[in-house]
Amino acid sequence: MEEKERKEEKRKEEIEELEKTVDRINEIVEDDKNPDEEHKIFLPKKEKSFLPLIKKKKKERKERNVEVQESPDDKFSKLIERNKKEQEEVQKKKKIEEKEVKKKNVLISLRDVDVKYNLGKASEFHALKNINIEIYPGEFIIFFGPSGCGKSTLMNVVAGLEPPCNGDVIVAGDDILKYDYDKMADYHTTRMGMVFQAYNLIDSLSVEDNVALPMTFKEASVKQKKKRTKELLERFDISKHAKNVPAMLSGGQQQRVGIARSLVNDPSIIFADEPVGNLDSKSASVVTKIFTALNRVDGKTLLLVTHNPEFLSMAHRVYYMKDGAIVKEEINKDIRPLEVRKEIEEETKLDDDVKIPTELKLLMKSFGGLSSGQINSMWVPLKAKMITEQVLNKYSREQTELIERAVKARLMNLSSREEMLLALDKPMKEGGAGVDKRSAEKMTERVEEILEEVNWVKEYVDKSGDVEHKEEADTLLIGIRQELMHFSKAHVKEVQIERLDKLIRLRLDNKIDKKKFTDLVGLRESAGGAGFNKRTSKKFGRELELLMLIKYGEEHKMP
């Protein structure tokens, strides 16, 4: 029995000794130092057979720790590859986030709306049947159909003028059917404007008093009313009729007064019920252009009722109506705000072949300082704002707004180079921006340069994927780079030029975003970057982003 216990005790001691040996071996393998001889004294003699294994492990570790001397070009390639993987991960996360964000961007939502007249009587009439629509900020929406189809009733429901029998009417997150008298009055006077077919001007009031009337309900001062009224009358070229009564004006002029009145409190939503129904073709054309500008330039959400098919190509979406129901929704994909189009197409699967470019996501990230409302609403004000920042020095807030307006008009091809110059140079009291002639010429020239560079970017994008036009695309790329180089005063090496060209190509092809482009341009050469200083790299990034933004908007401009 004692013999058995001794053997068991001896076996335990051997196991413990072996475990200690293994622990020491692990310590040696993990040690960064080299001296093998120092470790030999800790090993029992019978365990020396482990030394070859220990040496092998240490050698492998040593090889792993040897810094691989990579060339700057190899580092550059690895940086790009790493960025590609990072972008893929970012896009996956954004897809999840976008599903939540898009729910918050709806401006107007109608759910299961019904309108019936003479309810319960023999003459009961179903004017609207189960209407479900969503409208986004900055959209131009048309309700189209024959007389009696329910289109005016639908607009009146959204405007809070016609309560439905059933359903919900949500505007900017509020259920307007639950508004009390004061809230509904505020909605009518400040958040929406209405333009009627019959003008609905007060005959006994002058033109300027008709326009200023909604401001009276806001208790605006006389000075505020005069200033705002003057701005709108000048904008719509009816200031010379300010003191006249409506009866002294033509139909087209009266409708312009009606439009000015609807805008006087700067509402975000404009309703227009057959606005050109009483006008001749020339006046109708003028009014049509005004509505287009209100949507594209001012960013107003526009809901228009018409039976005139000439309007249809101007809208982002058209709802076709018949017998109180929406029978068809048509999307004008050429001019629809892209983020809005993306949300609806992802949700309704309208077109499986439609691909939303990565460009929008990267641009949204680059201009994160701007409100999402601006970007979702329209591209023109965003482009004008960026250009104005590029060419502007220090001007008053009012001048800055007037300068932006002139730039917007130029971007929309609503004015020529000469007309933009005149708008900038004209004194403020005459409706201009009041910029001195030399500065006005400088600004105009800069805008024209930017537009020319944008054309280069567009041509490059069109030709870069075509092998036959590769040489032309490369030439355009060089031209774009040369324009960027105007921001750099320092001597530039050939390797810097080569890397800058590669980075410009990657940015134009949407392989990297603005931040990555700027970081790599400013990264030192030895680390694989283009080696420009921080200030210059930021200027390069800002200028290239501006060109891409304007180019993108040009592709989606109204024909």
One-character DSSP codes across 229-296: HHHHHHHTT-GGGTTS-GGGS-HHHHHHHHHHHHHTT--SEEEEESTTTTS-HHHHHHHHHHHHHHHH
Find which of 244-253, 480-489, 535-544 is predicted with most confidence, using mean pLDDT: 244-253
pLDDT over 80 at 380, yes or no: no
Q: Is residue 362 part of a domain?
A: no
* Phi, psi for 176 (deg, rounded to 5): -70, -15
Query: Stretch 497-505: mean pLDDT, rounded?
Result: 84
H-only helix segments in 111-250: 151-158, 181-186, 207-216, 222-235
pTM (predicted TM-score) = 0.47
Q: Is residue 9 part of a domain?
A: no
Structure tokens at 55: 């040496």
Query: Does 438 share its domain with 317?
Result: no
Confidence of residue 56 (pLDDT cuts 50, 70, 90): low
Per-residue pLDDT, 367: 47
Query: Does 495 share its domain with 421?
Result: yes
Query: Does 48 share its domain with 119?
Result: no
pLDDT over 90 at 319, yes or no: yes
Per DSSP, 523 falls in state: S
Query: Does 242 share its domain with 299?
Result: yes
Q: How many CB atoms lie within 10 A of CB 90?
A: 13
More confident residue, 235 or 50: 235
* Phi, psi for 488 (deg, rounded to 5): -110, 125
Query: Stretch 23-48: mean pLDDT, rounded?
Result: 50
User: Of the residues 50, 83, 103, which one is the last residue of a structural domain?
Assistant: 103
431 in Cβ contact with 419 (< 8 Å): no
Query: Does 170 share its domain with 244?
Result: yes
Per-residue pLDDT, 513: 80
Query: Does 388 share its domain with 506?
Result: yes
Confidence of residue 428 (pLDDT cuts 50, 70, 90): confident
Query: Does 406 share its domain with 258?
Result: no
Query: Does 96 share its domain with 121?
Result: no
Query: Does 177 share its domain with 310?
Result: yes
More confident residue, 35 or 219: 219
Residue numbers of the domain that contains 169? 108-348
Distance of CA 515 to the CA centre of its chain: 17
Q: Is residue 216 part of a domain?
A: yes
| SS3 state at 15 | helix
Q: 323-372 pLDDT, tens per residue?
A: 999 999 988 865 554 444 444 444 444 333 333 344 444 444 444 444 33
- Give the integer Cα–Cα distance in Å for 355 and 247: 53
Q: Is residue 158 part of a domain?
A: yes
Per DSSP, 67 falls in state: P
Query: Does 475 share its domain with 427?
Result: yes
Q: How many CB atoms lie within 10 A of CB 397?
A: 7
Q: Which of 455, 355, 325, 442 is nearest to 390 (CA)?
A: 442
pLDDT over 70 at 503, yes or no: yes
Residues 6+ apart with CB under 8 A from 169: 109, 110, 113, 157, 158, 160, 175, 176, 177
Sheet holding 125-135, edge to edge: 125-135, 108-117, 166-171, 174-175
Q: Is residue 234 part of a domain?
A: yes
Per-residue pLDDT, 245: 92
Q: Lowest mean pLDDT: which of 150-164, 372-386, 512-526?
A: 372-386
Q: Is residue 7 part of a domain?
A: no
Query: Does 117 share its domain with 193?
Result: yes
Q: Is residue 14 part of a domain?
A: no
223 in Cβ contact with 210 (< 8 Å): no
Per-residue pLDDT, 143: 94
Query: Does 191 share its domain with 329?
Result: yes
- Give the integer Cα–Cα distance in Å for 495 and 298: 46
pLDDT over 60 at 523, yes or no: yes
Structure tokens at 58: 């240490």
Q: Is residue 361 part of a domain?
A: no
Radius of gyration of the chain (CA): 34
Number of separate domains in the chain? 4
Per DSSP, 384 falls in state: H
- Give the integer Cα–Cα distance in Å for 341 and 322: 25
Structure tokens at 330: 């048509």
User: Of the residues 51, 81, 103, which one is the last residue of a structural domain?
Assistant: 103
| SS3 state at 107 | coil
Confidence of residue 39 (pLDDT cuts 50, 70, 90): very low
| SS3 state at 66 | coil
For the chain, the straight-line distance linking the first and the last C-alpha, in angstroms and rounded, comes to 105
Q: 430-470 pLDDT, tens per residue?
A: 778 888 888 888 888 877 877 777 677 767 666 666 656 66
Query: Stretch 512-518: mean pLDDT, rounded?
Result: 82
From residue 509, how far is each of 134, 461, 505, 512 by CA, in Å? 33, 7, 6, 8
Q: 141-182 pLDDT, tens per residue?
A: 999 988 889 999 999 999 999 999 999 999 988 899 999 998
307 in Cβ contact with 294 (< 8 Å): no
Q: Which of 483, 559, 496 is nearest to 525 (CA)?
A: 496
User: Of the residues 7, 39, 65, which one is the last residue of a structural domain?
Assistant: 65
Per-residue pLDDT, 26: 60
Find which of 8-17, 143-152, 501-510, 548-557 is predicted with most confidence, using mean pLDDT: 143-152
